[in-house]
Structure 1
């Protein structure tokens, strides 16, 4: 795997080096998250706490902390801004689950399944508001510009995904525009904050933003491939959620383009018309394998992972850069 070339061959990529490097700051981020989730309206901390507790690895705020450390920042602004990044991410998850009518996230009931759509949307709005309070408290117009722009682009990506959902005519470029906006933009903003608070040159901020953007695209490509892979079940997630929802992801775009008329009719029936039968997911997986769509999606992910690694070239070798290299390798290795 090209993006793991900097690791010993017997070493499995892991987030542990990054967690060890930023662990103390991450504990402070978690404390800030708890502080800002507080509200006299009891439902707000209950619902917000549910999704935060069910959350993932805090990758995005860890990227903010690591970028600051890579730029030799020795203040504490990055802690509140990393919490801000996590609030934006959590708010988008709450809204995503409502739009997607999801009942489970990482094997746990979604907030909308427990408390309903109205509460989930409103608490998502509350978390966005908390994020903006943290931005304003930081006092930097540049930080406010970066994160408010990211929030707007993420929302645009959500709408664009809604427009392209169930449309088998979606092009690869349209799909990539969705994931650049919906997923990668927050990765990019999370990474750019570090050099900005450290007062580093624009070239370094641009490099870390490019790192985050390309990492975010690679991350989402792997996620979209995994939705059709047996590996998904091993990770404790449901296989075929995107298929059942009629989402047009890169594996589908590629398989549709390479398929014959009969296969195209299958995709239109199952994804556009949402007329699905019990064996359709297995048939879809067979078609994806037949046309090499999953392998091609992974190849794209490797390409974006390599671009992310190249973006770190301006920074000296050391434990932080190595940890960021390994984050890229880890995101790719989830597929195997």
Structure 2
């Protein structure tokens, strides 16, 4: 979440609701700062480096907003701690992802792996994950512990599934969508369900917020994959077409494949994940625009956004529900 996003909300959301959200987000940031402290200097340095890279803090915000959207009383401090826990798990996966991908930058900053080395970064990511598990244990809600543990397993298995398809030009779309569900959507769903569970919501309300989170997560990742081909490199911190360069098949490229001639298909398949030239990547992106692949992928994201909004519509109309609608619009319109 950005300062611009919060300022845009002022016109639509009552001040007291916004104050509660901002206080919660600031509370999460304070908790994260406390959690990365360590007697082991390198562990602390890597944790602080990862925090300073910033981030939208979308996941802890969803925990708090989902609790508020139930209309039930809830413990704000518990939301802050569990929101920080879920953000720490996310941070750990990013540290590990950067090592796996050999990434040198994230959000325009050097990755932990580049600054501190891969081995230290992997171990520091493990520490973040272990500390997140400790927060869950102290909270003591077995249903949330079980759900989050299952989600971490699913994320890790999703990473392995994605790895199996690395450099696979013919990866089926259903497998791509399965990876998205496992790596991203299921975890965003967990964040929304956690907020509902903290508030003691009934099963129907919890399921509605979970459905919202699932489709929000699907839309978020598809748009992320679109930005790899359409975004501003200065904002994303990586060159356009990074997924193509690294052999990572995503929806924009999948939707282009049927529109390629046999010769074009052979040409782009041959260079997929094989360090293609900037000229080749530019030509690929041009074809994505001209042949409607980007529009097709965007339509799939829009479908998930609409399903997320439909789930919200079944909840009572409150400023908190409106805030979740705003988050959906933020995800839809983001440029980084």
Query: Please, what TM-score do these two structures have when normalized by structure 2?
Result: 0.91
Give the whole-Å Cα distance in 2 for the aligned partners of 1:43 and 1:282: 40
Matched residue, 1:305: 305
Give the whole-Å Cα distance in 2 for the aligned partners of 1:19 and 1:210: 24
Matched residue, 2:62: 63
> Structure 1 residue 221: deviation in Å?
0.7
Q: Superposed, which structure 2 residues align to 1:1-336 within 5 Å?
A: 14-16=5-7, 17=9, 20-71=19-70, 72-75=72-75, 76-229=77-230, 231-233=231-233, 235-238=235-238, 239-271=240-272, 274-334=274-334
Give the whole-Å Cα distance in 2 for the aligned partners of 1:137 and 1:84: 11
Structure 1, unpaired ranges of 5+: 1-12
Q: 1:199 to 1:74 in 2, by over 3 A?
A: closer
Q: 1:261 to 1:194 in 2, by over 3 A?
A: same
> Structure 1 residue 172: deviation in Å?
1.2
> Structure 1 residue 19: deviation in Å?
6.1
Give the whole-Å Cα distance in 2 for the aligned partners of 1:104 and 1:234: 11
Give the whole-Å Cα distance in 2 for the aligned partners of 1:248 and 1:266: 16
Query: Please, what TM-score do these two structures have when normalized by structure 1?
Result: 0.91
Give the whole-Å Cα distance in 1 for the aligned partners of 2:51 and 2:335: 25
User: Number of matched residues?
Assistant: 322
Provide the alpha-carbon RMSD of the alignment: 1.7
CA contact (8 A) 1:15 1:330 kept: no
> Structure 1 residue 15: deviation in Å?
4.7
Give the whole-Å Cα distance in 2 for the aligned partners of 1:318 and 1:142: 27
SS at match of 1:228: helix
Q: 1:245 to 1:154 in 2, by over 3 A?
A: same
> Structure 1 residue 241: deviation in Å?
1.6
> Structure 1 residue 280: deviation in Å?
0.9
Give the whole-Å Cα distance in 1 for the aligned partners of 2:284 and 2:18: 38
Structure 2, unpaired ranges of 5+: 10-16
Q: 1:275 to 1:106 in 2, by over 3 A?
A: closer
SS at match of 1:328: helix
